[in-house]
Structure 1
Amino acid sequence: MAKNPEKASYRHRGRLTPTRPASNLAERWTLVDGVDVFYRESPAHLDAPVMTHLHGFGLSGRYLLPTAERLADEFHTYVPDLPGFGRSGKPKESLDVPGLAHAAARFLDDRGVEKTTLVGNSMGCPVILEFARRYPERVHRTVLVSPAGGVFNQPLRRAVGQLAKDGGLEPRKMISVATPDYLRFGVPSTFKMFKALTEYPSLKRLLELQIPTLVVIGERDPLLPGPERVQEVANQTDSHVLVVLLEGAAHAINFSHPGELANVIRLFMHDKPIRDDPRFPDHRRVFEVHRGKHHPPPRDP
């Protein structure tokens, strides 16, 4: 059974809790391996499958909320700030990608969650890949949105330039969400985490994956190779990977295009063809770039 969600350090809560909630998901705290962990949770649905959203580099789960909230009516939703990020406490030593995957597993242990679908953005994607490698029996499906890391983001000055370019492509509201998170994360942590992120073999782990996986990339994302290169890489595997391109999107798709992303995730979860949402006739279009031979075939609604 899950532990008491109110068990946490009031020192952290008093310092970091905003004057009003940033989400219609419940804001809660728990204690995992001696670290205060802040998380958001949807109302419990007795028979609903669990979906856990993992944030990107230097950020908290706050920018994932627009998409997570749209899926919370169908999935028991968790959006944690991983240890060392956002409003959660800092562990004694900085965590690398495997360490963050273990921390995510311990958080789910604490919540009494045996199996979940994992949805990540940017750094959250390598964390998910490592989680799936270590605990495949605990993962229903994986959704990798704008997966970052690896040689395309090296060296650090290149990644900084990519991030700066992306900043001009994201909605203005993203600045007010991201800036406090980056400042709280700090410069020393940034260098350590960047090194760990670029050294993690994300591509190898993705090609090894045997779990149904959706990869969503933005057409204008400066942190990722172009669609042609993505398709070339995807064609190296006949596994369970489905790659979708979102027209006009940059890197923080979970924040900038939540309606389109939530629609794609729902279709993927139900093995339906990837199509534009007819409720939003003016929204950005989505295109399948690659569908692995062993991916579940789409079923018409």
Structure 2
Amino acid sequence: MVRTSSEVPTGWRRSGPGRPRPATALAERWTTVDGIDVFYRESRNPPDAPVMMHVHGFGLSGRYLLPTAERLADHFHTLVPDLPGFGRSGKVANALDVPDLAHAAARFLDDRGIEKATLVGNSMGCPVICEFAYHYPDRIDRAVLVSPAGGIFNQPLRRAMGQISRDAPREPARLMRVVTPDYVRFGVPSTMRMFRSLTQYPSLERLLAMKIPTLAVLGDRDPLMPGAARVQEVAGQTDNHVLIVRIEGAAHAINFSHPGELAHLIRLFMEDQPIVDDPDSPGNARLYEIHRGVHHPPAKEA
């Protein structure tokens, strides 16, 4: 079941008397999955384009992912859902954990008639993608893990809260206007339950089990991520699929703060091209590899 979510044309909102303006370049829609109303955004490009689904982080909706998702919507059939229990989607009777969210993502794709997709996640969305790949390896083409969270580096809760508090002033001020309503709606009890699920999730084990081409994107100012030496140590445990790239000046919410750089990087990854800076991206943030698995072609001189 699909229905639009606005009284004005889909994807538009009012900006003064009688003057609609785009809320997003993506259409805003609803469907029902397992009896739960699910809100999502979808590109209007031909349905035969490669599918790319963006998976949001802890306590959030997909809204903060839109700056990057919109930049990729011209090449991919783009989907940005609010997973059940998050954002504008309906609540569930029992709080979902990481495996539940991975299954919910698969059932959302089932509902849309999509067999296979590339998944792009931020923060908590990355463990969800790893779990999706574990249970549905034939349904994921590639994985893009942006600022993956939930590992031992974010434990215990007080440490994670300290990391989040250090990250906040490093993000664009406008991000708070986007994420605050999501956090308020998600609530403290759900936050505590979801954090426990993340601390119990075998993030490293699932990551190392993935056999598909995987891009991990890190910000060099992200306090929720370990240093480069630890990242390289982990990446060195698998040599067959992982490409790791850092973005200078980025913190945790890269999908929002550096959408031009990230979209450019994802396009290069999807085309198996060498990692080079995008001269047209604002901010002039430098991209550089810190690890490349053998399944990726070697980098060439630009």
TM-score (norm: length of structure 1): 0.93
1:5 aligns with 2:2: yes
Counterpart mapping for 1:261-276 below 5 A? 261-276=262-277
**Alignment correspondent of 1:122:** 123
8 A contact 1:62–1:177 mirrored in 2: yes
Residue identity in the other structure for 1:35: I
Counterpart mapping for 1:44-123 below 5 A? 44-123=45-124
Q: Secondary structure at the match of 1:255?
A: helix
Per-residue deviation, 1:150? 1.6
Describe the superposition over 1:86-110 as per-residue Cα deviations: whole angstroms up to 9, x where unpaired.
Answer: 0000111111000000000000000
Per-residue deviation, 1:240? 0.4
Change in 2 beyond 3 A, CA 1:57/1:212: same
Per-residue deviation, 1:278? 2.1
Change in 2 beyond 3 A, CA 1:195/1:44: same
Residue identity in the other structure for 2:43: S
Counterpart mapping for 1:196-215 below 5 A? 196-215=197-216
Change in 2 beyond 3 A, CA 1:64/1:282: closer
8 A contact 1:216–1:243 mirrored in 2: yes
Tell me, in whole angstroms, the C-alpha distance in 1 between the residues paired with 2:149 and 2:283.
29
**Alignment correspondent of 1:142:** 143
Residue identity in the other structure for 1:6: R
8 A contact 2:245–2:287 mirrored in 1: yes
**Alignment correspondent of 2:287:** 286
Per-residue deviation, 1:280? 3.3
1:236 aligns with 2:237: yes
Per-residue deviation, 1:282? 4.9
Counterpart mapping for 1:111-260 below 5 A? 111-260=112-261
Change in 2 beyond 3 A, CA 1:299/1:137: farther
Change in 2 beyond 3 A, CA 1:99/1:282: closer
Q: Secondary structure at the match of 1:107?
A: helix
Tell me, in whole angstroms, the C-alpha distance in 1 between the residues paired with 2:89 and 2:200.
25
Per-residue deviation, 1:151? 1.1
What is the root-mean-square deviation of aligned Cα atoms in Å?
1.9
Describe the superposition over 1:37-74 as per-residue Cα deviations: whole angstroms up to 9, x where unpaired.
Answer: 00000003143100000000000000000000000000
The alignment of Structure 1 onto Structure 2 pairs a total of residues equal to 292
8 A contact 1:144–1:214 mirrored in 2: yes
Tell me, in whole angstroms, the C-alpha distance in 1 between the residues paired with 2:296 and 2:196.
33
Identity %, equivalent residues: 70
Residue identity in the other structure for 1:266: R
Change in 2 beyond 3 A, CA 1:182/1:18: farther
8 A contact 1:121–1:147 mirrored in 2: yes
8 A contact 1:271–1:298 mirrored in 2: no
Describe the superposition over 1:126-146 as per-residue Cα deviations: whole angstroms up to 9, x where unpaired.
Answer: 000000010010001000000
8 A contact 2:4–2:28 mirrored in 1: no
Change in 2 beyond 3 A, CA 1:299/1:131: farther
Tell me, in whole angstroms, the C-alpha distance in 2 between the residues paired with 1:162 and 1:282.
24
8 A contact 1:209–1:239 mirrored in 2: no
Tell me, in whole angstroms, the C-alpha distance in 2 between the residues paired with 1:157 and 1:46.
45
Unaligned 5+ runs, structure 2: 15-21
Change in 2 beyond 3 A, CA 1:70/1:281: closer
